[in-house]
Amino acid sequence: MDIVYIQALELDAVIGVYEWERQVEQRLLLDLELGVDNKKAAVSDNLDDALDYFQISQRVRAFVVEQRVQLVETLAERIAQLLQNEFSVPWVKVKLAKPGAVSFAADVGVVIERGDRTLKGDGALGSVRT
């Protein structure tokens, strides 16, 4: 399996459990890893055969604006579901960070993996289901 990634995608969201957080947008940072088979795109050199990371970035940014959840865990799960459903990726890793949530930490957040990931090579991982 190949991986298409997007790193440090900036998102503005109304997110949090405190009343003041429900009144403002906060900056989140999103890292994505998406499992795909890039062979067809590599041979054709055609974007139609590839996972379009610009389109994914735009869709996720619009999606996050629509959400108004309390927890980064909830938002990360919904982003993973969106990517699997709308972009047909069999495996996704989502890292969602909320910088500034803890004043004495650079950032805090969650990392989740969803779907099936099959790797070949030295690691010889079989199928990992989450």
The yes-or-no answer on residue 98 being catalytic is: yes
40, 95, 98, 120: which one is catalytic? Answer: 98
CB 38 within 8 A of CB 4: yes
The separation between the first and the last C-alpha atoms of the chain, rounded to the nearest angstrom, is 16
Would you say the C-alpha torsion 72, 77, 80, 85 has a positive or negative sign? negative
Give the active site residues: 98
